[in-house]
Structure 1
Amino acid sequence: MGSNLSSNERPVSPFNLLTVKIIRLRNVRKADLLTLSDCYVTLWLPTASSEKVRTRTIRNSKNPVWNEAFCYKIDRRVKNVLELKVCDEDTITRDDELCTVLFDIDKLSVGRTVRVKFQLNPQAREELEVEFTLQNTLDYPDGIITNGVLVAREVSCLEVRVDTGKLKQQSTNQELTFTVKGSHEGSQKISLGSEPSLQIIVFHCIINDQTRLDIVLPEELADKNETQEYGVLSFPLNSLPLQKEITVEEDQSFELYLTSRKCSGSLDVRLGYSLCREEQDFLQKRKKYVAAALKKILNLEEDLKEHEVPVVAITTTGGGTRSLTAMYGSLLGLQKLNLLDCISYIGGLSGTTWTMANLYEDADWSEKYLEEAIKEARKQVTKNKICCFSLDCLKYYYNDLMERVKEGRNTSFIDLWGLVIESMLHDKKDEHRLSDQRQAVDNGQNPLPIYVAINLKSNYSAQAFREWLEFTPYEVSLLKYGASIRAEHFGSEFYMGRLVKRLPETRICYMQGMWSSIFSIDVMYVWNLAADSEDFWFRWTRDRVKDIEEEPFLSMNPYEVDTCLLTPSSTFSSVLRDVLTGRPTIAQYPNFIRGLQMHSKYLESDGFSTWKDTVIDSFPNKLMETADDELSLVDTGFFINTSYPPLLRSKREVDVILHLNYSGGSQTLKLSPVFSKESYLSF
């Protein structure tokens, strides 16, 4: 777990008051052919407020002047990057986004006011002038938990009790909409016709100066309510508790009660790059099996000492049924050579996860002769697959998917694919779950299985953005961030490191569908296979990003992010990008790092640097946006057809990796050192 930085002593406050004054824009580019731009500037600082604010629009001007100031309370312990977006307002069509400046607030010094000129286009002398003021504040710091990359803040559980008994129902469709921006729940609705009249809803959020509760009134009542703009009632939440009767009109009102409490207890997301306690215990127990096997194989006279016992791992490649059957043969061969007990880890992806999931249903599989398991696998592989699409099977698929929908899960064609895999490899419903495999490793009697997937991002190819996830019977981990959850909690909802909605653990067949998802392919992947290069497509589809200078030059520390200018791609390029990176279907699960923020010095973390290999790793706001999205998980083979990356975690101290290639002729091993070098992994 990370370190808790709260203290009984009153430390120096990490909070500052930031004032951003948008002064002017000089020589602004033209978005329209015949007229000058109607410019405004939007500001977004997601670590301080979930809302985007903007200046007024200055019409038909090449040199607009605003002199508008905006204030934020920031926390220096997290990475604060301000986004300044220059836009051209259009009356009929969508507003044009001309460019965006990304500015790291760490460049500013406390107690100083500095006027900065951002060079948007030096040749055209286009520049944005902004004044920054950073001041100290005496606010007492809240406690945070961090691993040097992610930061978990204190979360409040806001309870909203609403009594609508006095509010007359004028329409069967009337409802009140409650919104807390930046909360886990976002918006929730209460029907005025429902019983009982007293209803309770809950929001999980961080309460600060900007947090408020917005209540959208029914349309009929909003028209009559002249005191509130657009029928929205707003209440700041920084001075709870609040107990108030809300009067809509003379004979119509409802009672509102707001209370909040801190979410106490430890995090449900483990922050840290170390191995979990259960895996450490497993390694100690497994060493006894490995030491005994090596002593027998090598005819040693004395027992090996603990530090002399090597950690040997197996990495596999995918290949559907081919890799399923071939892996059985490989393990049988190792067993006949008395080498199977020398293995501590087995990494799997795609079809090899089918083999592993089947084997680990038996708590003592490696201690039994594998011919019996192979005989059962042969029967399942060679049976007529038409039965998997019989009417009874289709009804079973439909009913099981509907159960997942009732549980509150997203479903996709990948889930159906998982059920088809289950029918192909079993004669009946498979009730096993990933956490059930603990019985096969708790005593160190079998190698620890590690299943691999990658998380993708919409509008990015797998070569441009992928985040490695590993699945063991103990934990599911996002390797780059050093964040892990219990295996049985995967699929449940988290916010700021806390479990806020627990769902039943998903069955292993759905995991197999995701680990071997052959239906999430995109055009960019096919092109890369054919041409072995994405340069042409990147030139046409990516937003243009370049580092720019600011005047005056501000101090540069290793943990600061360069000031960047982002110029959006054209409409044609955006459409082309959608076509190239669009995926027919993808497995989506709740992201367990949702709400967590990036540490101010996350780029200096060795753990993050080891796994950072995406185009947005230096853009913390983009990373936080991705964390708020669902995990979009696919077969690792869409990037590199091997399961070795989790085996290179330094804490696992793997000495030898046996590479079992089932990829049908292609040699994936030669790609491993190249990827490892690019990702700062030791290979």
Structure 2
Amino acid sequence: MQMCQTQMCVCGSCSSEVRIAHSLNTQEKEFIARREQTVQQSLKNLGIQCPAKVPKIALLGSGGGERAMLGLLGSLDGFKETSLLDCVLYLCGVSGSTWCMASLYQDSDWSTKLDSVKEKIIHRLKGPAVSWSETFSKLKKYYYEKDIFSLTDVWAVLIVTSFVKEIDECTISEKRGHNDKDPFPIFTVIDKECKQRQKGDPWVEITPYEAGYSLTGAFVDVSRFGSQFHEGSKKKDQPEMDMLYLQALCGSALADEQNMWEAIKDFFKNLFHRKEEILGEMYNETTSSSIDDACQILMDLVEMNLLALKGLDTSDLDKTIRTKLFEAKLYMKQFTLDVCDNMRVSLSFWPFDVCYTICKLMAQWIWGRKYNFLDNMKDVRLPSILVESETRDYEDAGLLLNSPYISVLRQERDIDLIISLDFSDGDPFMTVKSIAKICKNQNIPFPEVIVPSEDIIMPKDFYVFEGYKKAPTVIHIPLFNTVNCGDEVEEWRKKYSTFQLSYRADMIDPLLKVAGKNITNNKVKLVEEIRKIVKLTACKR
């Protein structure tokens, strides 16, 4: 279990609690100023002189589960091999790419020792799963340490750990000052209600200093993201989310009701198999009968939900749970809530309290719920949808756009070149085409995106969409392509699908190698595009 010491907040914006401004916070500006010196020296080593300011280059990792995690790691290794890694100013991710980022930023100045950091990560991914006792202990901690418990907590402990093979209890604010020689990290999620109602600002970014709404320009110190606020003032502290939870918050697009119920079923089985050991003296002759009955009811309740999702008959289970045949998922929702509420009266202690809660959360499908730091703020610059509720629900940004473009397209970051690493399923150009439409609708400068129709099925390994005026140039690199996979692009896609359990050890190295080739094969092209950007940057500024 990755442990870190708690640190005091060092962000200068804390005194004002909530920051409403279209500007970068002071700490990010200072970080970028230091990083630009590294970028300038790196470009000089490549024979590129920057008489004026250095070009601002952002590297984006898309979602795609463990495929994205390994794809980003292999790509970064390629950037290191070609001496291009130190040209990157920002490293941004959604979903599976954030799993890689979280692993990297565990190490101070990881980009200076990427070979050893990469080997450590690979060794962990090829190793054993997180133990049941650690899983149980972590779930208990999540359940009791904060006001709001959601399916994201369950997802973190039961699912994300099965991919990343660790429980990382460090927080992102603890990365302040430890990664000054690395690209500036940005993790991206979305606001569920804004997405569903197509109102307000759905784009939420999380950095070592702040968390908040990218386009609205509303931020709070990241260590206080999730604490209870009212009218811009903090009313109650909540623990800062750790890196395991952050990975779950960013990477929950894989969430599927049936898979979640199956995971919960396995967890309950292990839990109830060891109930005497866990409950200790509480499990005695007096309580054993009621506890055993509760265990059976919960297992039957989970099984009934699985059967209902599959459209199968649930009537055989009514011997334990007094009910009639439920033919639709709608009935199972209310039935699940009723059973859990009734059982809580008789058995309200650990671990049954969390079991009932998990079943209720599944019925209500509550993910990523946190206190709203903008609750009831009186500021005309804020969309009404963002201030009208005490809590907000956050989820995987890949459910709206599977690449973190919005965070680097903020005008104040003034990005010159975006390198988009696409690890998505399906159309490998969906992300870049989608962001082009979004930018057009919102008057955000972005280059025109034209892709030959035949390339959608058999893409090449390097595409350039040239910027104009204030628009950045975009380099787009699909993971599987005709250069590194030949005629077997579809075979690679099927082998490394998003919706599968963690990859076998023998699948890891080939994927890393394929991803790395996308960079090493294109070093000359990348350097040439950077050279062009340097000239354009001089003209712009």
Q: What's the secondary structure of 2:432's corresponding residue?
A: coil
Shift of 1:278: 0.5
Unmatched 5+ stretches in structure 2: 1-13, 258-329, 335-362, 447-541
Pick the aligned partner of 2:421 from 660, 671, 675.
Answer: 660
1:314/1:345 contact within 8 Å kept: yes
Q: May I ask how many residue pairs the two structures share in their alignment?
A: 330
Q: Could you tell me which residue of structure 2 aligns to residue 296 of structure 1?
A: 45
1:411 equivalent to 2:145? Answer no
Cross-structure match for 1:392: 133
Provide the rounded CA distance (Å) in 2 between the counterparts of 1:467 and 1:492: 20
Contact 2:85 2:111 in 1 (8 A): yes
2:394 is the alignment partner of 1:594: no
Does 1:454 find its partner at 2:172? no
In proportion to residue count, which structure has more helix? 2
* From 214, 220, 240, the counterpart of 1:505: 240
2:132 paired with 1:362: no
Deviation at 1:631, TM superposition (A): 1.6
| Higher Rg | 1
Q: Once the two structures are superposed, what CA deviation does each residue of 1:579-638 show, in whole Å capped at 9, x if it has no partner?
A: 9xx973311011111111242xx4xxxxx7xxxxxxxx6xx4x5542xx24121000111
- Asked whether the 8 Å contact 1:520–1:586 carries over to 2, the reply is no
- Structure 1 distance, partners of 2:106, 2:87, is 21
> Which of 53, 59, 63 matches 1:318?
63
Question: Letter of the aligned partner of 2:171 in structure 1?
Answer: R
Alpha-carbon deviation of 1:277?
0.4
> Is the counterpart of residue 482 in structure 1 residue 223 in structure 2?
no
Contact 1:318 1:351 in 2 (8 A): yes
* Cα distance change of structure 1 residues 664 and 308 upon mapping to structure 2, 3 Å threshold: same
Change (3 A) 1:391 1:310: closer
Is 2:23 the counterpart of 1:274? yes
Distance 1:428 1:513, change over 3 A: closer
How many Å apart are 1:344 and its aligned residue? 0.5
Distance 1:334 1:590 in 2: 39
The change in CA–CA distance for 1:462 and 1:318 in structure 2 (over 3 A counts) is farther
Residues 339-393 of structure 1: per-residue CA shift (max 9 Å, x gap): 100100011010110110111111111011x232222222333335xx44x5424
Write out aligned runs for 1:179-578 (5 A): 267-298=16-47, 300=49, 304-305=50-51, 307-368=52-113, 370-384=114-128, 387-388=129-130, 391-404=132-145, 408-420=146-158, 423-424=161-162, 429-441=167-179, 443=180, 445-457=181-193, 461=196, 467-518=202-253
Report the CA distance between 1:495 and its aligned residue.
1.4
Q: C-alpha deviations, 1:377-431, integer Å up to 9, x for none?
A: 22333335xx44x542442233222332xxx321122112212456336666422
Q: CA RMSD in A?
A: 2.8
Q: Is the 8 A contact 2:135 2:158 kept in 1?
A: no
SS of the residue 1:673 aligns to: helix
How far 1:315 sits from its partner (Å)?
1.3
Gap change, CA 1:379 and 1:496, over 3 Å in 2: same
Q: Determine helix, strand or coil for the equivalent of 2:89.
A: strand
What secondary structure sits across from 1:334 in the alignment? Answer: helix
The amino acid across from 1:592 in the alignment is F
Give yes or no for contact 1:438–1:474 (8 Å, CA) kept in 2: yes
Relative distance call for 1:514 and 1:429 in structure 2 (3 A) is closer
Unaligned ranges ≥5, structure 1: 1-264, 523-574, 603-607, 609-616
Q: Deviation digits for residues 514-533 of structure 1, max 9, x if unmatched?
A: 111136679xxxxxxxxxxx
Tell me what 1:585 maps to: 366
Label 1:373 to 1:665 Cα distance change in 2 as closer, same or farther (>3 A).
Answer: farther
**Contact 1:520 1:583 (C-alpha < 8 Å) held by counterparts:** no
| Alpha-carbon distance in 1 for matches of 2:402, 2:221 | 26
- Map Cα deviations across residues 36-61 of structure 1 (whole Å, 9 max, x no partner): xxxxxxxxxxxxxxxxxxxxxxxxxx
- Aligned-pair distance for 1:308? 2.9
Q: Secondary structure in 2 aligned to 1:414? A: helix
Instruction: Indicate the SS of the match to 1:461.
Output: helix
Contact preservation (8 Å) 2:62, 2:68: yes
Q: CA deviation at 1:296?
A: 0.8
- Aligned positions of 1:64-79 closer than 5 A: none
Instruction: Call closer, same or farther: CA 1:284–1:320 in 2, change over 3 Å.
Output: same
Structure-2 change in CA distance of 1:380 and 1:583 (3 Å):
farther
Cα distance between partner residues in 1 of 2:118 and 2:212:
31
User: Distance between the aligned counterparts of 2:92 and 2:166, measured in 1?
Assistant: 27
SS at match of 2:16: coil
**8 Å Cα contact 1:589-1:632 kept in structure 2:** yes
Q: Note closer, same or farther for the CA distance 1:266–1:292 as it changes in structure 2 (3 Å cut).
A: closer
Q: Displacement of 1:466 after TM fit? A: 5.6
Q: Structure 1 residues 366 and 391, CA, compared in 2 at 3 Å: closer, same or farther? A: closer
Give the AA of the match of 1:331. L
Q: Does the 8 Å CA contact 2:228/2:373 hold for their aligned counterparts?
A: yes
CA distance in 2, matches of 1:315, 1:293: 19
3-state SS in 1 of match to 2:24: coil
CA distance in 2, matches of 1:450, 1:630: 23
Would the aligned equivalents of 2:62 and 2:421 in 1 still touch at CA under 8 Å? yes
Structure 2 counterpart SS, 1:308: coil
- Give the conservation status (yes or no) of the 8 Å contact 1:470–1:477: yes
Report what 1:647 is aligned to: 408
Q: 1:359 to 1:391 in 2, by over 3 A?
A: closer
CA distance 1:519–1:282, change in 2 (3 Å): same
Distance 1:274 1:521 in 2: 38
Q: How many percent identity over aligned positions? A: 29
CA drift of 1:680 comes to 2.4
Higher relative contact order (CA 8 A, sep 6+): 2
